[in-house]
Amino acid sequence: MRPDWKGRPPADNRGSGLNADSVTNSAPSVTEPTVTARYVPVSLFPPCRRRAWWAASYTCPHCQGVHLARAKAEGDLAAPRRAGCGRMVTLSAGASR
């Protein structure tokens, strides 16, 4: 066998157990993680004076901490979002008005 462009001898994979069949068939199957968002009741604060956005505070069901959220419209608060602790939650804006 010829050396590579740096003059090194070619790699010998005979003892490593690698062959064409094991390389092509050994790829792990990758699945998309399922994201489950929990519905959380919120306290809503409508826009007033200088604040033009809706504000919401909610207790996280995962870490039990209080997180804050903002949105331009009230309906935008109900979309799934990532909480301050990094978990996915869906705010149920109509539940605790």
pLDDT tens, 47-86?
Answer: 988 889 999 999 888 888 999 999 998 888 888 888 888 8
Predicted TM-score of the model (pTM): 0.54
Give SS3 for 75: helix
| 91 close to 69: Cβ distance less than 8 angstroms | yes
Q: Domain map of the chain by residue range? A: 43-92
Q: Which residue has the tokens 């069949």?
A: 21
Q: Which residue, 82, 83, 96, is CA-closest to 45?
A: 96
Give SS3 for 74: helix
- Taking the CA atoms of residue 85, residue 91, residue 93 and residue 97 in that order, the dihedral angle to the nearest 10 degrees is -50
